[in-house]
Amino acid sequence: EPRPGAGARPPRAELHLHLEGTLEPELAFALAERNGVALPFADVAALRAAYDFGDLQSFLDLYYANMAVLRTADDFAELTRAYLRRAAAAGVRHAEIMFDPQAHLLRGVPLATVVDGITSVLVTSERDFGVSTLLIAAFLRDRPAGEALSVLDALLATGAPIAGVGLDSAEVGSAAPFGPVFARAAAAGLRRTAHAGEEGPPANVVEVLDVLGAERVDHGVRAMEDPALVARLARDRVPLTVCPLSNVRLQAVPSLAEHPLPRMVEAGLHVSVHSDDPAYFGGYVDDVDDALTATFGMGARERAALAAASFTGSFLPADRVREHL
């Protein structure tokens, strides 16, 4: 059904989205049944009730556990279709979709199964859903960098249609060991983004810029604690993909009203807003917009500016970006 204010929603790009984080409880149970996998929850309501997170790790534990239901290429295709259908309804016209190849390899699902399932849907996403798409392979920061390197090599060797690489999972330790992974990705012509400054300090943001050559930063909210870094990010127009509902749910910020987004905009940062793991964090980008409007009284001009930033922060070529502005 039409959502309130849907007509006024500007077209936008989703730049911070983990495909596995779009697994809604209903689909999780349907796939569990189909694959003969047992979920440790009685029903959809019990699973939803577990979405009460104290921090990033408590979310990641459930996020990785629920992936057990994703076994076949068809499962990944169904997940991708469900996301694109919902994203189109939210006003998304372009989506840069991250997935976690290592999380599936580690539980015995071959890379080709994952990539083939997802890309079978992405190849016709524009025709089928009105959403252009790019695929980003995200590496797990809390796993060895050597593992990431071999997965990248496998992706490159098989000609997997990925546009870029990312870095996600627990924001622990230094990102420096991933320097060679990102360097190889750059040499192969891939775009580079990395999570930083979500739970970790501003120095983590500096590190992904300087050591990984990240062109974009996922989250970056804690950059606000370092004025010199804020000045640098503003000067260099580094896109930050901010996920306000995620930050509240993972208690990176105490409440939406206290979220630094308005101060980030005020500081001249290149920010756009996204959903991260919409099945887990209370909504897709239209829900994010509604929450921001309700909390900050965001007007049409501010919404339009954030929507424009979602395209200018994308990995689309300049001429494709212009078509959306």
- Residue where the block lists tokens 């991260």: 276
Interaction partner, residue 56 (Zn ion, ligand HPA, none; CB < 5-8 Å by kind): ligand HPA
Q: Which of 96, 198, 199, 207 is catalytic?
A: 198
C-beta of 201: minimal distance to Zn ion in Å? 17
Q: Is 21 in the site for ligand HPA (CB under 6 A)?
A: yes
Q: Does 18 bind ligand HPA (CB under 6 A)?
A: yes
Q: Which residues contact 130 (CB under 8 A, 6 or more apart)?
A: 88, 93
Query: What does the alpha-carbon distance between residue 147 and residue 102 come to, in Å, rounded to a whole number?
Result: 8
Residue 299 carries which side chain, given as an amino acid letter? G
Q: Does 171 bind Zn ion (CB under 5 A)?
A: no
User: Total number of residues binding ligand HPA (CB under 6 A)?
Assistant: 11
| 43 is an annotated ligand-binding site residue | no
Q: Which does 24 bind (CB under 5 to 8 A by kind): ligand HPA, Zn ion, none?
A: none
With CB under 6 A as the contact rule, the residue among 246, 272, 275, 314 that binds ligand HPA is 246
- Give which of Zn ion, ligand HPA, none residue 139 binds (C-beta under 5 to 8 Å, depending on kind): none
Residues 121 and 118: their CA atoms lie apart, in Å, by: 6
Binding partner of residue 286 among ligand HPA, Zn ion, none, CB under 5 to 8 Å per kind? Answer: none
Cα-Cα-Cα-Cα torsion 193, 81, 288, 9, nearest 10 degrees, comes to 110
Of 256, 195, 245, which is closest to residue 220 (Cα–Cα)? 195
Q: Does 14 bind Zn ion (CB under 5 A)?
A: no
Quick check: helix, strand or coil at residue 15? strand
Both ends of the chain: CA-CA distance in Å? 27
User: What does the alpha-carbon distance between residue 66 and residue 56 come to, in Å, rounded to a whole number?
Assistant: 16
Contact between 276 and Zn ion (CB under 5 A)?
yes
DSSP state of 9: P
Please state the closest distance from residue 63 (CB atom) to Zn ion, in A.
Answer: 10
CB of 246 to Zn ion, least distance (A): 7
Please classify residue 208 by burial: count the beta carbons closer than 10 Å to its beta carbon, then call 0-12 exposed, 13-18 middle and 19+ buried.
buried
Distance of closest approach, residue 62 Cβ to ligand HPA, in angstroms: 11
CB of 20 to Zn ion, least distance (A): 11
| 198 a catalytic residue | yes
Strand partners of residue 137: 99, 165
Binding site partner of 249, from ligand HPA, Zn ion, none, Cβ cut-off 5-8 A by kind:
none
Distances from the Cα of 123 to the Cα of 49, 104, 161, angstroms:
35, 22, 10
Annotated binding-site residues for substrate read 277
Residues that bind ligand HPA (CB under 6 A): 18, 21, 56, 63, 168-169, 195, 198, 246, 276-277
Residues that bind Zn ion (CB under 5 A): 276
Active site residues: 198
